[in-house]
Amino acid sequence: MTSPQDQIQKHRDSISAQMRASHAHWRKLAHALGPTARATFEAYEAAVRELRQASDSAALRVKQLREDDMLPDAGRRRLIAETLSEAAKKRSAARARMRAARDVLAAKARSAALPKLAKDREAAAREELRMLTSGAEDPASVLLELAQRDDELGAVAVSSYAESLLRAKGVPSAPAVYAAVCDHAVDAARRSADPARQVAAAAHVALGELDRAMSCAEAAANAMLEDEGVELP
């Protein structure tokens, strides 16, 4: 019969395995997104290690203090409180770095998934977009349709010019409509003929996996603390 401790360890092993698999997947995605994303993911992984190290070090120190028969109770309580306070600060800082890296990766994936417009084609693409929307009853629908494309019209549909055009035409909630157009383009990137957009779209879809990996990292970092009956923010 499996003991409760064995069940706990099995659960922890499963969490760690999930985290490692997700990190391996994201390492490849970040590498494909380019040097900035790769460096950002390396910073994320460093923060994950810092979270684990701060947690394990605190748990070990608490265990040592509790087992030290030479310490008076008041001194032991003070040292434990100091240890946990310092660990909480380090854990909070590590989490903040993890979240910051995640947000940078999300922004990078979203930006890279959008179609790109060459500088020398901006004026012509803007003029064509203006003509396409000039007589349209619903300019937003025109932009949503164009956002599915890989070409310069798809790119201008997700440019700041398109948002300005929506505002100028009095489209209600123009910023929200523009955001929806960009979302549409990011989703369409999965079917793009541009490999770079496909990779970016895959990374954008995998953000949920990265969020789950962060939860797994938190659970893994808490393991030794839980063994000592310690809860830390």
Residue with tokens 């770095």: 97
pLDDT in tens, 104-148: 999 999 999 999 999 999 999 999 999 999 988 899 999 999 999
What is the distance between the alpha carbons of residues 175 and 167, in angstroms, rounded to a whole number?
8
The pLDDT score that the predictor gives to residue 89 is 98
pLDDT in tens, 78-112: 999 999 999 999 999 999 999 999 999 999 999 99
What is the distance between the alpha carbons of residues 173 and 171, in angstroms, rounded to a whole number?
6
What is the distance between the alpha carbons of residues 90 and 56, in angstroms, rounded to a whole number?
12
Over range 46-63, report the average pLDDT: 97
pLDDT in tens, 155-198: 999 999 999 999 999 998 999 999 999 999 999 999 999 999 99
Residue spans of the domains in the chain: they are 4-114+206-227, 119-191
Taking 80 as the threshold, does the pLDDT of residue 226 lie above it? Answer: yes
The pLDDT score that the predictor gives to residue 77 is 95
Residue with tokens 């999930």: 18
Crossing angle, helix 4-33 and helix 35-67, to 10 degrees?
160
What is the distance between the alpha carbons of residues 126 and 108, in angstroms, rounded to a whole number?
25
Averaged pLDDT score across all residues of the chain:
95
Taking 90 as the threshold, does the pLDDT of residue 4 lie above it? Answer: no
Taking 80 as the threshold, does the pLDDT of residue 46 lie above it? Answer: yes
Residue 88: which of 66, 61, 65, 58 has the closest Cα? 58
The pLDDT score that the predictor gives to residue 233 is 78
The pLDDT score that the predictor gives to residue 104 is 98
The pLDDT score that the predictor gives to residue 135 is 82
The pLDDT score that the predictor gives to residue 161 is 95
pLDDT in tens, 30-42: 999 999 999 999 9
The pLDDT score that the predictor gives to residue 115 is 96
The pLDDT score that the predictor gives to residue 16 is 96
The pLDDT score that the predictor gives to residue 136 is 85
**In this prediction, what percent of the chain has a pLDDT beyond 70?**
100
211 or 3, greater pLDDT? 211
